[in-house]
Amino acid sequence: MALSLDRYHGAGNAFLVARRDRSAPWSTFAAESCEREGVDGVLVLDARDGDPPRVEMTLYQPDGGTAEMCGNGARCVAAWTADRLGLDHGTEILIETPAGVRPALVGEDEAEIGMGQVRFDPEGVPLAREEPLIAEVVEGYEVTALNTGVPHAVVFVEDVNAVDLAGMAPPIRHSELFPEGANVTVAAGTEDEFDQRTFERGVEGETLACGTGAVAVLAAAQRLGLSDVERATVSPPGGDLVVTVDGDGAATLRGPVAYDGRVDCSVPGAGMAVE
């Protein structure tokens, strides 16, 4: 079936957005389309009426798999929903993800998403060990492990641009310590300003931005004593993101989001319109 799908981007992360058709082979579509269309994933949505509006989100990644949560993807979902429904700025939208229900607010050219609770415990990451992994050497790098919707291995360095991310990240991403794998994020900075680069599982490469990674940077910095603030600007290559992590570990993510036009493509075997 030929389709014309919306394309959105949040801080450089680009996504195709489609309404759910449960008969469509979305995994195959994502694996074939992400590289061809230059996007980081396909967001398949199931909108539901309500006050506030609710939308179920599934992210299909370039390897054909799904991710429990994507901060920048969720912000794009919020913007798409607000655009489609003609919602006023500041209207709350509830986004249902495999990581839990996430509240979102859409402003002018930006969106904020609640990211839930940061977890360092081995069960929550998860880790193949009984103790948290805090600033311990893994594959030659000092790693702190946490879950901000998906597992992250955070490494603090002096200069993120001096790191051979494509070389150092895969051994950590596939370490036996991470039974479900992990995104690998390198960060540099202190207190309330950090640079960030992330190698994403499922993408199997570096992305221009990673919202869960930005949250992981501040949360890990707090845990390691590199920052004692609850709000920081985290800057991946795609743009600045504003992250908050409060004293109880509850996090939010705010940053730019924009509609980027329509993309003509096809979903083999789709049984209904999903644009």
Question: What are the start-end ranges of the H helices in 22-101?
Answer: 26-37, 71-85
Concerning whether 210 is annotated as a catalytic residue, the answer is yes
The kind and range of the H/E element at 216 are: helix 211-224
Taking Cα atoms as reference points, which of 128, 176, 72, 175 lies closest to residue 184?
175
Marked catalytic residue, from 34, 70, 76, 265 = 70
Give 28-31's long-range contacts (Cβ < 8 A, gap of 24+).
28/64, 28/268, 29/60, 29/265, 29/267, 29/268, 30/60, 30/61, 30/62, 30/64, 31/62, 31/63, 31/64
In the structure encoding, which two tokens stand for residue 24, read together?
A: 């469509």
Concerning whether 70 is annotated as a catalytic residue, the answer is yes
Catalytic residue numbers, as ranges: 70, 210
